[in-house]
Amino acid sequence: MKKRVLSGVTSTGKLTLGNYLGAISNFVKLQTENELFIFIANLHAITIPIAKKELATNTLEIAAWYFACGIDPNVANVFVQSDVLEHTQLSYILLCNSYLGELERMTQFKDKMQKTKQQNKTISIPTGLLVYPTLMAADILLYEPDLVPVGSDQTQHLELTKTLAERLNAKYQANLFKIPQQYQAQHSHRIMSLQDPTKKMSKSDDNPKNVIFLSDDLNTITEKIKKAVTDSENIIKYDIEKKPGVSNLLAIYASITNKTIAEAESYFASKDYSFLKTEIITTIHNLLAPIQEKQQKYLSDQASLIKLLQQGAENAKKIAASKLQEVQKAIGINYQ
């Protein structure tokens, strides 16, 4: 049986190698056997300050990366969140059923609030930051997905989504919402920051040295990997606790080459860090160069790219609209 898989990516920055290895490459594998809905969360992107031009550019660039990485527009539905109005409509209904306390308790909200305060020296926190998880819950619940692939940093948001679904089911109509399940790919390693390998590699990282972007050229990759944190042992072994930097490099290598960590370890046994880094630079560049070429092709024909996104939105809307109508009926908004 085909499973419905739904995931979103916020259009706040440029996509990273972590996005590719942790998410996109997995979607490519999932797309043939399942029904995929992947959207670019441009409404989530405006919960933090972002320039108009950057937001629009990011949105198209991300779409082009997805297709260039092998997401097939003929089998997967890729769309832009703001093109399917049902997301915001359902999010309002969920908002009316969520509590201030539970939203304030979200660790991402607390982190982002801290960051906003530090950066702007202000105590004014945009409400969008607080209600971010209710929009995410709407994104998910509209589609009744079987699986929601997200990183572990999104687990709390997914738990809240379940809570909201159960709350509305109890209040209005059992089975109104399907309870979503998080999906973490097996055998996929968490790709970490190059300078602080205890943190995940994040596209919203302020320091570009922490991150390999999908758009990085050979020189940039070389510079970043050469400066990546290791340790002074010069022994290539996987040990996240004691050797987070080297372990991260091994994980990157293993993920790209489809090797197990043990295979990667034995390949590098008796080699030094300089050899490890040189190999990784080549491996990353060989992966990214052809993808970059394809991405440029997609970007150079914007009209066709937009058409693909609109087709995706149309397919998504069929499902989202019927769910929203059901919800509106169940709560009495649909009065006719």
Instruction: Work out whether the CA dihedral 15, 17, 22, 24 comes out positive or negative.
Output: positive
- Residue 245 assigned ligand-binding role: no
Q: Which two tokens stand for residue 177?
A: 């919402």
Q: Kindly state the smallest distance separating residue 251's Cβ from ligand TRP, in Å.
A: 20
Q: Which two tokens stand for residue 239?
A: 């040990």
Q: Kindly state the smallest distance separating residue 239's Cβ from ligand TRP, in Å.
A: 28
Whether the CB-CB separation of 279 and 265 falls below 8 Å is answered with no
Contacting ligand TRP within 28-67 (CB under 6 A): 41, 44
44 vs 323 by CB, closer to ligand TRP = 44
Whether the CB-CB separation of 1 and 184 falls below 8 Å is answered with no
Whether the CB-CB separation of 71 and 38 falls below 8 Å is answered with yes
Phi, psi (rounded to 5 degrees) for 179: -75, 120
Binding residues for ligand TRP, total number by CB under 6 A: 13
- Residue 8 assigned ligand-binding role: no
- Residue 221 assigned ligand-binding role: no
Binding mask 65-104 for ligand TRP (x = CB under 6 A): ----------------------------------------
Binding mask 203-242 for ligand TRP (x = CB under 6 A): ----------------------------------------
104 vs 263 by CB, closer to ligand TRP = 104
Place of tokens 């982190």: 111
Closest CA to 95 of 125, 133, 66: 133
Binding mask 4-33 for ligand TRP (x = CB under 6 A): --xxxxx-----------------------
Binding mask 128-167 for ligand TRP (x = CB under 6 A): --------x--xx-------x-x---x-------------
- Residue 25 assigned ligand-binding role: no
CA 1 to chain centre: 25
- Residue 204 assigned ligand-binding role: yes
Binding mask 164-203 for ligand TRP (x = CB under 6 A): ----------------------------------------
Whether the CB-CB separation of 312 and 72 falls below 8 Å is answered with no
- Residue 19 assigned ligand-binding role: yes
Q: Kindly state the smallest distance separating residue 179's Cβ from ligand TRP, in Å.
A: 14
Place of tokens 């305060």: 117
Span of 1-9, 54-62, 182-190, 234-242 interacting with ligand TRP by CB under 6 A: 1-9
16 vs 247 by CB, closer to ligand TRP = 16
Whether the CB-CB separation of 242 and 234 falls below 8 Å is answered with no
- Residue 53 assigned ligand-binding role: no
Closest CA to 224 of 241, 207, 240, 238: 207
Q: Kindly state the smallest distance separating residue 9's Cβ from ligand TRP, in Å.
A: 6
Residues serving a catalytic function are 112, 200, 203
Q: Kindly state the smallest distance separating residue 43's Cβ from ligand TRP, in Å.
A: 9
- Residue 220 assigned ligand-binding role: no
Kindly list the residues in this chain that would bind ligand TRP in the complex (CB under 6 A).
Answer: 6-10, 41, 44, 136, 139-140, 148, 150, 154
Binding site feature residues for L-tryptophan: 139
Residues contributing to the annotated binding site for ATP: 10-12, 18-19, 151-153, 191, 200-204
Query: Binding site membership: which residues?
Result: 10-12, 18-19, 139, 151-153, 191, 200-204
